[in-house]
Structure 1
Amino acid sequence: MNNSHTNLTSRRRWLALATAAIGAGLMPILGRADDDAESHDALDVEDHFGDSANTTFTLANTGLSANIVVVGGGTAGATAAKYLRLWGGAGVKVTLVEPNALYTSNIMSNMVLNGRRTVSSLDYNYNGLTTKYGVTLKQASLVSIDKGAKQISLSDGSSLAYDRLVLAPGIEFVDAYGLTQQDYEVRTPHAWQAGPQTALLATQLAGMSSSGVFVMTIPKSPYRCPPGPYERACLVADFLKTRAGGSTSKVIVLDENVEKVAGNPYSAIQAEVENFTQAFQVTHGGVIDYRSGVKSIQINPNTKVVTYLDAQNASQSIQAEVVNPIVPQRARGGGVGGWLSTAGLTNSKDSTGAADNRWCVVNVLSFESTASGAAGIHVLGDAASCGLPKAGHVANQEAKICADAIVRLLGGQQPDPAPVANSACFSPITASTASWLTAVYQYDSATQKLVVANNGGSTSGASPIEASAPSAENFKQMNTWFNTLMGDSFA
């Protein structure tokens, strides 16, 4: 690589700046002054992160030449495309393959259910990536990968050759609980992919009677956005109990995850255990009925009868008015006959060590696939199995680690041997209060994964940190964090 030391230092500087840029949401932890947060209107949800607030950097002068294809225009793919151009320089050609003209953010989509946001307020385009950074947008879907020829085939009949391939396909939803994809679309929406199903679920929720029962299910981990289902339960409960005329509606949460502490069903909660336990028991006490360790869930999409076995293996039945099944997930294209599984890239294991094959195992130093014959193929975001949670902020971080590693590899160097990532998210608890969760992840050579680290870098006994309590101030800062994150990812 030309000027290798200078370019390496420059990339590290930009990586630090970029990480800091989306760390705005972490500022409550660091004690950001209240008057700074007050300058942001918590209700200004239509205000996307403006161009004036997001600096466009000059492309690095690396002297490198390569053809890189990025598949998937979500947070991971968009961020990867941007930073590959930014750090790789003008000679690194980046093509983003994405069938949709707009990306609809899953982050904040639960706020559509209580009317605090619209689906359109979550839409982002790719104009910044193409005009500011020179990314080429190819509006098509991936059909197949020829690993030997280093070429992909697309839905429009064309093909693209690559030197490096970055896959950020996101997730797809498994037929579960006796339901089909058609049921998800028109009768029992999971709404775990923001868009039409989100609007449908909001309509169903708004039409509930004053004494109706809302049933939602939570699949076994891993799934997209660990705190998301619990956040949704809170917002639905808050919406139902504050409706005009009062309400005796119930929100029954059926969680397939099992308790970690004997006798404490709330210990099954996958993130922000303390704040969600408080929210379920106190803030929304009497409305939310949380049941963990359930199994054998079956849902009749027509009658809305939900049956299951409880934690004691007793049969239970609920007559629901609205059913929201958050169903098991896998990497998009990972089903039988899917392009990802056909290419042999799904190779994960479950918590017992048994073959899972829903996700793609990667080397977290570069996010390159560890599957046989997959050299030069990198997998990011929700589709990857790497020890990190499946979340938008994390996807942004993974993309930067991957982009930095690819540029180093193109220059004949090795990836950073000790990458660091941070994770931050805010969870609305009511229409005006929110909590937050944050963690710093460091590379652990023993497990070859990124693991949570304590302040000072130790990973022994470390765990994510959650807010001391939900607050209106957190709600205000949530919007700043979201706008900053999306502005960084979508240029």
Structure 2
Amino acid sequence: MTTNLSRRTLLKALGLGAAATLVPALTRAEALPHVVVVGGGFAGTTASKYLKMWGGTSVEVTLVEPNTTYVSPILSNLVLNHQRTTSDLSFDYTHHSTVYGINMIHDSVNAIDKTNQVLTLHSGTTLAYDRLILAGGMDFVDIPGLDFDKVPHAWKAGSQTNLLKDQIDAMQDGDHFVMTVPASPYRCPPGPYERACVVADYLKNTKGFVNCEVTVLDANSAITVEAETFGAKFTEYGVNYRPNIVISSVDSDTRSITFSENGGATQTLDAEVLNVIPNQKAAKIVFDAGLNSGNWAPVNPLSYESTQATNIHIIGDSQATAQPKSGHMGNSQAKICADAVLRSLNGMDLNAAPKTNTACYSPVSATHASWLTAVYEYNASTQAMQLVPGAGYPAAGAPSTENYSQMFNWSGNLFADTFA
């Protein structure tokens, strides 16, 4: 339930009947306002789509994304137990260019000139913008010795996911699987715990191993979300869960990790498969443009405009609001942002009471999944997004086969709303 300016409402506010097909051009003599969106994940792709759905020919929209195909991290843990493939989770941008009239540029950004409002791309192309939306996702905090070609994170889906799957497939009975959970905030709060369950179930119940060990090294003081559900599954699968971990280094050649636990002395753990998901921060483009404060990018949640620069909006994983970092939330924020950009370009007031929501189904085996949902609303007193009472993480469902089935309905709807 995202509260934003619907297309019908926008048309009405601009003086058009509900049957009108397009928003009229803005009353300005120069070329149409140009909105450039950088990043083709759930947030950026949704923003570009809804800008054109609601703005029609009154706005030019360009989506800059280096890859021609996006692999969804949502459901990607199911690649590890062979329930899905990365091809099943791959999406292109055909509809964005052919159906919505979005300019697609497969390139990366080298620099942002905030004063003159110009992007320079890797190819040397320059793009002038009236509004810029950055949806670059997240980046990792470096860990000494960590080589992702040998020790995958598999937190950005695609080749990393398949690398981790291949390593798991090569495990023998008695081998050790070790994975880490990054410190909050990080992308997809239940994701690491979900992965531990999926892998433990696969090794035990699909491969039939009785002597494999699964260890989870958590940077947090406890399981951060759905603690009862994941705690119970860890007990069932015999997962060795260890909180309050600080990683010192990784030896990627020997697949060993050195860390301290509860502030104690350093120790080293060896593994046949080591899956390190580092602590996270805003995307590199945010840091390069000086739009961060600490590890994340502060924004005005009424519009997602950066508090560090005018006419630049930041949505998805990089933003610094208290909202979770998830694909569903990125999709929800994108609509608020698209709404705000169109309102601003048309000289209209921003929506004073936006709401966003996030939902997630987490597979915990090859047949069962849990779920959770949260709704956020703008608090004018604090000027921040806050949980709606009674709709926070306690709104969750225990693992069941019905939830496993519903997981694909939820994800299918989200995929369609973003990419179709």
Normalising to structure 2: TM-score of the pair? Answer: 0.92
Residues 7 and 483 (structure 1), Cα distance of their counterparts in 2 relative to 1, 3 Å cut: closer
Q: What is the deviation of 1:59?
A: 5.0
**2:299 counterpart residue number:** 362
Q: What is the deviation of 1:58?
A: 7.8
Residue of structure 2 aligned with 1:452, choices 369, 387, 391? 387
- Structure 2: which amino acid aligns with 1:381? G
* Percent of matched pairs sharing the same residue: 46
Q: What is the deviation of 1:451?
A: 1.2
Matched, 1:409 2:375: no
Matched, 1:344 2:290: yes
Query: Contact between 2:174 and 2:212, CA under 8 Å: does it hold in 1?
Result: yes
Residues 202 and 7 (structure 1), Cα distance of their counterparts in 2 relative to 1, 3 Å cut: closer
Q: What is the deviation of 1:170?
A: 1.0
Q: What is the deviation of 1:343?
A: 2.0
Residue of structure 2 aligned with 1:477, choices 374, 399, 406? 406
Rounded to whole Å, the distance in 1 between the matches of 2:20 and 2:40 is 22
Residues 445 and 110 (structure 1), Cα distance of their counterparts in 2 relative to 1, 3 Å cut: same
Q: Deviations over 1:465-491 (max 9, x none)?
A: 343420000000000110110100112
Query: Contact between 1:59 and 1:85, CA under 8 Å: does it hold in 2?
Result: no
1:34-53 equivalent positions in 2, closer than 5 A:
none
Residues 58 and 317 (structure 1), Cα distance of their counterparts in 2 relative to 1, 3 Å cut: farther
1:88-487 equivalent positions in 2, closer than 5 A:
88-176=55-143, 178-180=144-146, 183-185=147-149, 187-258=150-221, 268-282=222-236, 284=237, 286=238, 288-311=239-262, 313-333=264-284, 339-347=285-293, 356=294, 358-371=295-308, 374-455=309-390, 463-487=392-416
Q: What is the deviation of 1:87?
A: 1.0
Aligned alpha-carbon RMSD (Å)? 2.0
Q: What is the deviation of 1:306?
A: 2.4
Q: What is the deviation of 1:307?
A: 2.6
Q: What is the deviation of 1:7?
A: 6.6
- Structure 1: which amino acid aligns with 2:329? V
Q: What is the deviation of 1:11?
A: 6.9
Q: Deviations over 1:39-89 (max 9, x none)?
A: xxxxxxxxxxxxxxxxxx985424334111111111101100011111112
Residues 244 and 468 (structure 1), Cα distance of their counterparts in 2 relative to 1, 3 Å cut: closer
**2:25 counterpart residue number:** 63
Aligned length: 406
Rounded to whole Å, the distance in 2 between the matches of 1:478 and 1:6 is 27
Query: Contact between 1:106 and 1:192, CA under 8 Å: does it hold in 2?
Result: yes
Q: What is the deviation of 1:302?
A: 1.6
Residues 449 and 8 (structure 1), Cα distance of their counterparts in 2 relative to 1, 3 Å cut: farther
Rounded to whole Å, the distance in 1 between the matches of 2:188 and 2:251 is 26
Q: What is the deviation of 1:314?
A: 4.1
Residues 94 and 218 (structure 1), Cα distance of their counterparts in 2 relative to 1, 3 Å cut: same
Q: Deviations over 1:210-251 (max 9, x none)?
A: 011101011111111111000000001001102445321111
Residues 80 and 202 (structure 1), Cα distance of their counterparts in 2 relative to 1, 3 Å cut: same
Q: Deviations over 1:307-337 (max 9, x none)?
A: 322226144332211100001222221xxxx
Normalising to structure 1: TM-score of the pair? Answer: 0.79
Q: What is the deviation of 1:407?
A: 0.8
Rounded to whole Å, the distance in 1 between the matches of 2:6 and 2:249 is 59
Q: Deviations over 1:97-124 (max 9, x none)?
A: 1111111111111111111111111110
Rounded to whole Å, the distance in 1 between the matches of 2:99 and 2:227 is 42
Rounded to whole Å, the distance in 2 between the matches of 1:170 and 1:12 is 34
Q: What is the deviation of 1:398?
A: 0.3
- Structure 2: which amino acid aligns with 1:9? T
Q: What is the deviation of 1:96?
A: 0.4
Unaligned runs of 5+ in 2: 14-18, 27-31
3-state SS in 1 of match to 2:398: coil
Rounded to whole Å, the distance in 1 between the matches of 2:154 and 2:410 is 23
3-state SS in 2 of match to 1:431: coil
- Name the stretch that deviates more: 268-277 or 309-318: 309-318
Query: Contact between 1:230 and 1:276, CA under 8 Å: does it hold in 2?
Result: yes
Q: What is the deviation of 1:93?
A: 0.5
- Structure 2: which amino acid aligns with 1:443? Y
Q: Deviations over 1:107-155 (max 9, x none)?
A: 1111111111111111100011111111110111011011111110001
3-state SS in 2 of match to 1:121: coil
